[in-house]
Chains A and B, each alone.
Chain A
Amino acid sequence: MNLFTIVYDGIRRRKIRSILSVLGIAISAMALFTMVSLREGYETAMESELDQMGAHVVALAKGCPYEAVALIMMGGEVPDTLPEEVATEIEEIPNVDFTSPNALGAYEYAGETHSVVGITPNEKRMKPGWEIEQGRLPEQSNEVLLGSGKNEKMLEHEDNWNGVGDNYTVYLDGDEIYLETVGILNETNSRDDNNAYTTLETAQNLFGMEGEVVTFNIQLEDLGLMHETIKELEEIPDVQAVTVDEVMGTVQGLAGTGEAMLFAVLVLALLIGGLGTMNTMMMTVFERTREVALMKTMGASKQKIFNLFLMEGVAICLIGSLLGIAAGGLLVWGGDMLLSQFLPLMPSQSVALFSGEALVWALLFPVGVGVLSALYPALRAAALEPVIALKNE
């Protein structure tokens, strides 16, 4: 027999009440674990996505910065374009190392949106993660380089798909336009895996934006001069420049919308769970008044009685917390599906990340609540006078 035998006996003998208290804590801990894990997973995935872009600054036509972010991250609708010649003006800025212009467009086929990105050879220089698994970059009109995911889809859906040498079909306005596959990219674990890359000119022709560019991805020589370079970039007519940090800030803003409120609600839920535990513990102390008195007649010290009841409260919260983390783990596992219901912008790689920070929060916070909620009942039990308590029926 030890402290835990007696604590276990106390919890076991009021199963329903203990289970309800455990559930209250578990639900809060699950929500806390899931929220903190997914937030970290989302930010990590988005950061990695931005790293893969390779650009320090993106220049695009003036407009809403949120649209700009969506465009940069998702290749969304093109609100406005810039003339191709802007590239020269950009490269004349002293701190600009080089720029890689992109002409983006998309088409619908078999219920899915397919992106086509027009690039120049500078795109490979921009993206250190790019390795061409087979073939080469597109150099001539109507040539295409496929991301690894795109190639896998073609293998799945097209009979006799051989990759390099085969035709990739773009479906636009009822026409079928054939592009010759000249290369396959390695897996980058980014959105690039699902894109088709063609020459700038081909994309401009496909999407009716001759001589126009949607974004200029820019690498700088000295990141310390970012602020000044942005200023110079924005002196070019109709150009707005967005830094990768700004994009990340917007992404965090998107993820953080309502997060503070949700967090406050969760903390409140945990405190309510704690009150439930306190109620359970108070009831226990009232019900076990004579038992506590008996223990005191047997020589149990105040400290031992206090520990006994404190441990019961903590055990309830700890069990709740562990169950909540396990359930939260399942939710995090399905985190991509869950988050895509709430967030307009999702990274291409999974957001399912089992965060250490989330584990600490979901474990320590409920246990802290357990200590607080059991403190008063434990003190009450420890202070019981055996003579008075023994008279109670």
Chain B
Amino acid sequence: MLTGENISKIYRRGREEVKALQEVSFSINSGEMVGIMGPSGSGKTSLMNILGLLDTPDRGRLSINNCYVDEMSEREKLQTRREVVGFIYQDFLLVKSMTALQNVMLPLYFAGKDIFRKRASDLLERVGLGQRLHHLPSQLSGGEMQRVAIARAIANDPEVVLADEPTGNLDSVSSEGILNLFHEINKEGKTIIIVTHNIELAKELPRILHLRDGKLLTGDEALATQ
């Protein structure tokens, strides 16, 4: 489903070059649940941005459903991002002035979908927030906000859910709830990619890609880091 071939990403800070990703190759199958682990600055977020079509690699190629991203027009990329990928962030990134329901309706509006109120309220029901539809983010707990963010991420029924440190701001009970939710969504056939440096969370994931200094570690190298 997602295939990376020798992906490299270099950032320039003045004269200094930062090699965020170096020759990273991987393959993630449809319906897999994969973690991307690594210390700070290892290139996790860069990889996530490339997987989410928010950024482009300087070298190498990414393909989604056997289509090379570098061959896509901007319009096709936008459409892929809208329909194939859903994002979840550590700090939830909810629009503070909008209710839970409105937050979930946003991606449906941008995708030009009909009947989005019904779909959005069903999704909030699905993540256990049926009673919180009209609450503002400030009236929700951290766990509840992340559930709204998950409902929003899956609103357009994407094939892939990309989560960047989804439990980073949550207590252990809420984290467990969120992880269970990811498992449920995964069982429905969605590919889940979770970027984390939380070892406890990583233990619950069937497969982990280890990154260090922008390079993907092999099985033995990865074991050595644990």
Contact = CB atoms under 8 A, between A and B. Distances in A.
A203 to B, nearest CB: 76
A80 interface: no
Given A290-B93, A294-B93, A299 B81 contact: yes
Nearest to A5: B102
Interface string A294-309: 1111111100100000
A2 B116 CA distance: 10
A351 to B, nearest CB: 46
Nearest to A13: B97
B58 to A, nearest CB: 14
Interface of B is mostly: helix
B82 A1 contact: no
Interface residues of A, number: 21
A257 B45 CA distance: 67
Contacts of A297: 52, 54, 81, 87
A298 B110 contact: yes
Interface of A: 1-2, 5-6, 9, 12-13, 290-291, 294-301, 304, 386-387, 390
Interface centre among A2, A9, A299 (most CB of B within 10 A): A299
B111 interface: yes
B110 A300 contact: yes
Interface string B32-53: 0000000000000000010010
Contacts, number: 55
Given A291-B95, A298-B82, 12 more contacts: A1-B106, A9-B97, A13-B97, A297-B87, A298-B106, A298-B152, A299-B81, A299-B82, A299-B83, A300-B110, A301-B78, A390-B54
B55 A387 contact: yes
A1 B105 contact: yes
10 contacts: A1-B109, A13-B97, A291-B93, A297-B54, A298-B87, A298-B106, A298-B110, A299-B156, A386-B54, A387-B55
Contacts of B117: 1
Given A294-B93, A386-B54, A387-B54, A299 B107 contact: yes
A80 B106 CA distance: 81
B202 interface: no
